Amino acid sequence: MKKQIPIDDIIERAGTYSVKWSNIGGTCKDYKNPEQKLPFQVADMDLPCPEPMIKSLHKVVDHKMYGYSADFTEPRYEKSIIDWYQRRFECHVEKEWLTSTSGSIEGVNTVIKAFSNVGDGIIISRPVYGHFTQCIEQETYRKVVDSHLINHDGHYTMDWEDFEKKCAEPTNRIYILCSPANPVGRVWTKEELQKIVSICKKNDVLLVSDEVHCDIHRKNTTHYPILSVTEDYSNIIMISAINKTFNTAGLLCAYAIIPNNTLRGVFKKELGEKLLTPFAIEALISAYNECDDWLEQMNDYIEENIDYAIDFISKNMPKVKVVKPEGTYILWLDFSEYGLSFEEIHHRIYEKANVILQDGIVHDPFYGGQFQRMCIPSPRPLLQEALERMAKEFS
């Protein structure tokens, strides 16, 4: 297999419109300077996109015209998604089931608005991606209903009794599943997913599964798309994208897979007409047809980063509890053994170490104060520098 990733190369992101880097000042190249803040709060990579994709995007640029574009004009687009799910997951998808969106959050928002009313309950299982709460409370004016995950020394599971109780409430209309789970790193088993499907179906709860991290998992784990664990799709919507897998969030290329005709019709009516850029269309086609080798290498590099970070933490910050995530490129760090306040933990990391993580309360407002989320798909030297700075503040 030809090496496709320039391991440990640091590519400058300052001045490139990067949300992750532009708000902190300075440059990536100055990462050894203790005054330079190092960001690990955003779930995108500081690693280059696949070379075949870059070449395909150059072809789009060289065409010199970038007018209105639509994925339905190019049969390769739908076929690429269908083939990817069959090849990678043995999951059957049909072209009629596909609807493009700008991102997974647009898909989630569309589901909430289309299938519930203002004030209805939307179930989530915290700790979970904080933007779900924003979608529910601030963007669609519904009510968060938390069926909290159970923490078994860093390994999280569903609270089945509580989940069924929450689903049985008639005003709780939708369950948003994060699969794999961000930030806690679970890759749900087939049996867990089947139980979620069964409980939602029994209680007439619409199940929307956000699977944008589905391609990023450890060698010894298997991700099961929600559509692969049941033959009854009457209450299921699956949302995914190339964004996390191939570091293309800025291209705004995601999709919903909705087998049920009625659900799909309601979803598309709420979404309205959606046109993708020619860059997004070409990127997806290339990603799903030319970049399997790159993904295998990237997953290897991410796992090496995870192993490095966990080993470093165990030796230099032994009071920080962290479990190797089964999926995603996210570490969920538990600082509770230090006995420090949330404010002090934040101050030591963000102000003294000059490392930007993401406060746990973003993903778990009531119980996340002792946690930090760290996204680590970065060159190893950056990760090493950040961990060394943090260790000095917690030694």
Q: What does pLDDT average to over the chain?
A: 96
Number of domains in the chain: 2
* pLDDT value for 6: 65
212 and 267 inside one domain: yes
The pLDDT tens digits for 85-108 are 999 999 999 999 999 999 999 999
Mean pLDDT of 148-165: 98
Asked whether residue 1 carries a pLDDT value surpassing 60, the answer given is no
User: What local confidence, expressed as pLDDT, does residue 15 receive?
Assistant: 87
Which of 241, 263, 289 delimits the end of a domain? 289
DSSP string, 128-190: --HHHHHIIIIIS--EEEE-PPEEETTEEE--HHHHHHHHHSTTEEEEEEESS-TTT-----H
For 167-197, write each residue's pLDDT tens digit. Answer: 999 999 999 999 999 999 999 999 999 999 9
Structural domain includes residue 7: no
pLDDT range class, residue 23, cuts 50, 70, 90: confident
307 lies in which domain range?
Answer: 19-51+292-393
pTM: 0.96
CATH at residue 148: 3.40.640.10
Residue 152 predicted with pLDDT over 80: yes
Return the H-helix or E-strand segment holding 383: helix 380-393
> What's the CATH code of the domain at 330?
3.90.1150.10
pLDDT tens, residue by residue, 285-336: 999 999 999 999 999 999 999 999 999 999 999 999 999 999 999 999 999 9
Choosing from 265, 289, 313, the residue where a domain stops is: 289
Contacting residues for 183 by C-beta, under 8 A, at least 6 apart: 127, 128, 129, 328, 330, 332, 360, 363, 373
pLDDT of 25:
82
| Tens-place pLDDT, residues 224-271 | 999 999 999 999 999 999 999 999 999 999 999 999 999 999 999 999
- Please state, in angstroms and rounded to a whole number, the distance separating the CA atoms of residues 253 and 364: 28
Question: By percentage, how much of the chain surpasses pLDDT 90?
Answer: 93
Using the structure block, give the residue that is written with the tokens 């519904």.
142
Query: Are 308 and 356 in a shared domain?
Result: yes
pLDDT of residue 80: 98
